[in-house]
Structure 1
Amino acid sequence: MTRVLLIRHATTEATGTHLAGRAAGIGLDGQGRRQAQALAGRLAGLPIAAIYSSPLQRTLETAEPIARLLGRETIPCEDFLEIEFGEWTGRAIAGLEDDAAFRRFNAVRSRAPAAGGEYMLQAQARMVLGLEALRLRHPRQTVVVVGHGDPIKAAVAYYAGIPLDLFHRLEIDPASVSAIELGDDAVRILAVNDTGGAWA
């Protein structure tokens, strides 16, 4: 089986307050840089065959200390991009709370798109197809994928058999690791939202 370590990027100044989406130029803040360094230390010694990342700045910066410590290059992959939030990109979350489309997006993720953006189903399909491609490329190896909270949550929900409309029951914190093993005819979820290395 292929072991995939799904890592949410570390914190930025927008984390928890704004929908950064695919906006350029959003890097890690001071806390995020410390989180990324600590994360690299947690992964040291694991037999990681490859490191993949969403091509956005905050994910690449989270992957960089891991890649440096392990002596590997980070491979950008658009399959693991953040949701396309369209008109909501860069907006403050508090300023969207009275938007009926935003409320529906959060209430029924399986059927409601972001305004001018994509459906959660599209983001989930991207993630799962990307992970399945890694399963075929890296049989019996461990790989790292650095991505974004909601797409990681959607992938975990898919492999756990949880409907998208219930995926808010899962928590994916910044710099957390969710570990999944993917085989030809089996899936094992080893850890979800781990921030202390208990999955290793």
Structure 2
Amino acid sequence: MTQFLLIRHATNDLVDKAIAGRASGVHLNDEGRRQASRLADALADEHINRIISSPLERAFETAEFLAKPRGLNIQVSDALHEVSFGDWTGKTLEELAPLPGWKTWNTFRSACQIPNGEIISGVQARMVRLILELATQCEGETIALCGHGDPIKTALFHFLGAPLDFLHRLEISPASVSTLEMFDDAVRVASINQTFY
């Protein structure tokens, strides 16, 4: 069995307020560091073989809490990047609320092309491709993937066989872990959105 721990970054000052997207310089806040520390404590007995992170600081900083006690180097993969939110990056939820595209994003996500950004099926494709490649290359390992809420949702929906239009119905909280178990002939979603705070 190859096990994947899909970990959303811990909280920062923009969570539930604005779209950080791929903006640089968004770091964990004090609460986020506490969340990441509790996550690391909860996973202390997991034999994690490798840790791979999104390039963004908030994900990498979360990954560091897992990597340091294990003496592991953190690999970085663009496949774990946040959704490219294009013109919506940096906007508050209040600013986005009246936009027709924002309503579509939250009701009919598979058909929504973010202005100058990504379409969700492309996000799903890069996430699933990475997981399948790692399942082949790292058979039998436990791999922590530190990334972002929507990309994690897309991967889970792929392996659950669920339509992307229901993505907004699933909560992936900051500093949560969802677990995929991959066998030779089957995939099991063993847990979703476990938190430790």
Whether TM-score is above 0.5 comes out as yes
Cα pair 2:48 2:141 within 8 Å, conserved: yes
Instruction: Identify the residue that residue 94 of structure 1 maps to in structure 2.
Output: 94
- Give SS of 2:64's match: helix
Unaligned runs of 5+ in 2: none
CA deviations 1:7-48 (Å, max 9, x no partner) are 000000000111000000000010001111111111112111
Instruction: Identify the residue that residue 118 of structure 1 maps to in structure 2.
Output: 118
State percent identity of aligned pairs.
Answer: 44
Cα pair 2:7 2:146 within 8 Å, conserved: yes
TM-score, length basis structure 1:
0.96
Instruction: Identify the residue that residue 67 of structure 2 maps to in structure 1.
Output: 67
Aligned mates of 1:184, 1:87 — CA distance in 2: 42
Q: CA RMSD in A?
A: 1.1
Q: How does 1:1-200 map to 2 (within 5 A)?
A: 1-196=1-196
- Give SS of 1:189's match: strand
- Give SS of 1:114's match: coil
Unaligned runs of 5+ in 1: none
Instruction: Say which is worse superposed, 101-110 or 68-77, in terms of deviation.
Output: 101-110
Instruction: Could you list the structure 1 runs, at least 4 aligned residues long, displaced by more than 4 angstroms after superposition.
Output: none
Instruction: Say which is worse superposed, 108-117 or 5-14, in terms of deviation.
Output: 108-117
TM-score, length basis structure 2:
0.97
| Alpha-carbon shift at residue 168 of structure 1 (Å) | 1.7
Q: In the comparison of the two structures, how many residue pairs are matched?
A: 197
CA deviations 1:52-110 (Å, max 9, x no partner) are 01010000000011100111011011000000000001110111100001111221111
